[in-house]
């Protein structure tokens, strides 16, 4: 086991470690009383037969109220107590669901998250956010409930489809843009090894991405300031997911698309350096993200943004960048957003 970070969040300590396959279900600090998996992760690795298992639907389909109610019912059936620990093995949807259920059952159970996707390893499982979707809007209902442990086994990346893997890389790229020059250089110069899922380089990539997120979260747990920067690309991305239907594009594809649009908004406002915009787009293109597509009508996207959980009085606060590793939040006029979404960038302000 290699500890990456030890976070103090809201009075709870989270230990984030890179582990070996044999350590995934090890009882380091007490029992694991229930394991939540989905149909994809159910057969990944041998499990301790003493740990009861609940299987939920795969992907965004698990983040529904009906599935939450079923899972809470299973907590009751298996007799979980206030000192019980819920573990979750899966991607970000499974870890979000299981942690949310644990956060509201008996006013909060301990959680051990075992992310199986790159997206969950570097983002969803780290930082204490939990949630489910509501009426087509991503993560609209949720809580802050840090896990006791996050156990990352990079070998699980081999189980992912290429598209799932690239979805996680979208969040890795976002993290690098926020403030990790070495990680950005790795993404630019070692793309072949990264796409090949080279184990040594991916351990370094994961460690660096997690360290950046932990640093941001530790300084602003409840997203009152700097943590909002982690939403770079997400206002556009979540709107795209809502318009297309959750799951049509992967989250990472939508975020990559949203990052490109955020760069264009910065250009339209004359606050983003043109060379930085081009460098970011070149990187996204290097990994094959569909950033030049405009797959949903502008009006649908704008309406989705109006319902986004990150909206504030006075409008939607977009996360933008002015130059390398320099991030700002701006409320942007709707005409500029419409211009970008209609693939016209002549509007200037």
Residues annotated as part of the active site = 107, 129, 171, 213, 223, 227, 231, 234, 238, 251
Instruction: List phi, psi (to 5°) of 156.
Output: -65, -20
Query: Which of 114, 83, 87, 85 has the alpha carbon at shortest distance from 98?
Result: 87
Tell me if residue 272 falls in helix, strand or coil: coil
Query: Which of 158, 159, 203, 149 has the alpha carbon at shortest distance from 23?
Result: 149
Distance CA(45)–CA(233), nearest Å, equals 34
Residue 135 falls in which region: left (phi positive, over 0), alpha (psi -120 to 50) or beta: left
Tell me if residue 29 falls in helix, strand or coil: coil
- Find out whether 310 and 244 touch, Cβ atoms under 8 Å: no
The C-alpha angle with vertex 178 and arms to 172 and 180, in degrees rounded to 5, equals 70
83-86, Cβ contacts within 8 angstroms, sequence gap of 24 or more: 83/110, 84/31, 84/33, 84/34, 84/109, 84/110, 85/30, 85/31, 85/32, 85/33, 85/34, 85/109, 85/110, 85/111, 85/112, 85/148, 86/33, 86/34, 86/36, 86/110, 86/111, 86/112
Query: Which of 93, 92, 98, 41 has the alpha carbon at shortest distance from 68?
Result: 98
Tokens of 283: 């990187």
């Amino acid at each position: 086991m290699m500890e990456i970070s030890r976070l103090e969040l809201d009075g709870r300590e989270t230990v984030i470690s890179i582990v070996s396959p044999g350590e995934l279900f090890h009882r380091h600090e007490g029992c694991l009383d229930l394991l939540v998996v989905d149909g994809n992760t159910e057969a990944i690795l041998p499990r301790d037969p003493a740990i009861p298992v609940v299987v939920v639907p795969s992907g965004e389909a698990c983040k529904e109220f009906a599935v939450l109610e079923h899972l809470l019912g299973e907590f009751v059936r298996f007799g979980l107590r206030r000192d019980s620990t819920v573990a979750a093995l899966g991607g970000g949807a499974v870890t979000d669901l299981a942690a949310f259920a644990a956060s509201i059952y008996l006013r909060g159970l301990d959680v051990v998250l075992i992310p199986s996707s790159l997206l969950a390893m570097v983002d969803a499982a780290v930082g204490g956010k939990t949630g489910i979707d509501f009426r087509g809007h991503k993560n609209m209902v949720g809580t802050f409930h840090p896990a006791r442990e996050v156990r990352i086994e990079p070998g699980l990346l081999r189980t992912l489809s290429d598209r799932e893997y690239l979805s996680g890389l979208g969040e890795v790229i976002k993290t690098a843009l926020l403030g990790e020059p070495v990680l950005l250089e790795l993404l630019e110069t070692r793309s072949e090894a990264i796409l090949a899922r080279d184990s040594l380089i991916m351990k370094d990539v994961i460690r660096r991405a997690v360290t950046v997120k932990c640093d941001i979260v530790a300084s602003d747990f409840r997203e009152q300031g700097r943590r909002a920067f982690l939403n770079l690309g997400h206002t556009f991305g979540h709107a795209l997911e809502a318009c297309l239907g959750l799951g049509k594009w992967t989250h990472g594809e939508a975020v990559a698309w949203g990052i490109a649009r955020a760069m264009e908004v910065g250009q339209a406002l004359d606050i983003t350096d043109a060379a930085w915009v081009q460098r970011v787009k070149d990187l996204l293109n290097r990994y094959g993200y569909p950033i030049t597509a405009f797959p949903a009508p502008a009006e649908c996207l704008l309406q989705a943004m109006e319902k986004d959980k990150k909206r504030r009085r006075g409008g939607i606060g977009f996360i933008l960048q002015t130059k390398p590793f320099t991030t700002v939040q701006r409320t942007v006029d709707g005409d500029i957003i419409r211009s970008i979404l209609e693939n016209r960038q002549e509007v200037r302000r």
